[in-house]
Structure formats: structure tokens, C-alpha cells
């Protein structure tokens, strides 16, 4: 299975999909923010409006 990396939308820390599944209430393990995670780094989110934003349904696939 290909590993997908997600980026904290607050501190831009990389988190693997496996790590995301174990997060406490979806909080970033680095900065503790629950700002959310995206498959695109924070700095690129303006350029990639169609970036996948993680939600609960992603864990069910």
C-alpha cells in the first residue's frame, strides 16, 4: 500500500496516513493544533484548491 503523507495546515508537519489514524482527536502530533490536515503542504494550498482535505470518510476506504 502506497503511503500518503498529509501536512498539518498549521505547522506544515508531515504526518503519515498511519499516524493520522492514531492521532488524539485529530490533533497534530507536532504542534497540537486541530487545524486539520491536507495532502498538500500549507504553502501550496492556495495553488491546489482541489487538494484532498482529510475527513472521517477517508479512514473507511
Distances (CA, A) of 57 to 37, 52, 53, 54, 61: 14, 12, 11, 8, 7
Q: Which stretch binds Zn ion (CB under 5 A): 19-27, 30-38, 39-47, 50-58?
A: 30-38
- 51: DSSP letter: P
**Stretch of residues binding Zn ion (CB under 5 A), selected from 15-23, 24-32, 36-44, 51-59:** 24-32
Residue from the set 6, 7, 13, 54 that interacts with Zn ion by CB under 5 A = 13
- Residue 15 near Zn ion by CB under 5 A: no
Q: Which helix (H) or strand (E) holds 5?
A: strand 5-8
Q: Which residues bind Zn ion (CB under 5 A)?
A: 8, 10-11, 13, 28, 30-31, 33
Amino acid at each position: 500500500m502506497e503511503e500518503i503523507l498529509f501536512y498539518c495546515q498549521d505547522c506544515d508537519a508531515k504526518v503519515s496516513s498511519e499516524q493520522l489514524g492514531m492521532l488524539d482527536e485529530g490533533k497534530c502530533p507536532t504542534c497540537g493544533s486541530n487545524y486539520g490536515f491536507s495532502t498538500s503542504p500549507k504553502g501550496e494550498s492556495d495553488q491546489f484548491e482541489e487538494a484532498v482535505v482529510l475527513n472521517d470518510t477517508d479512514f473507511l476506504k
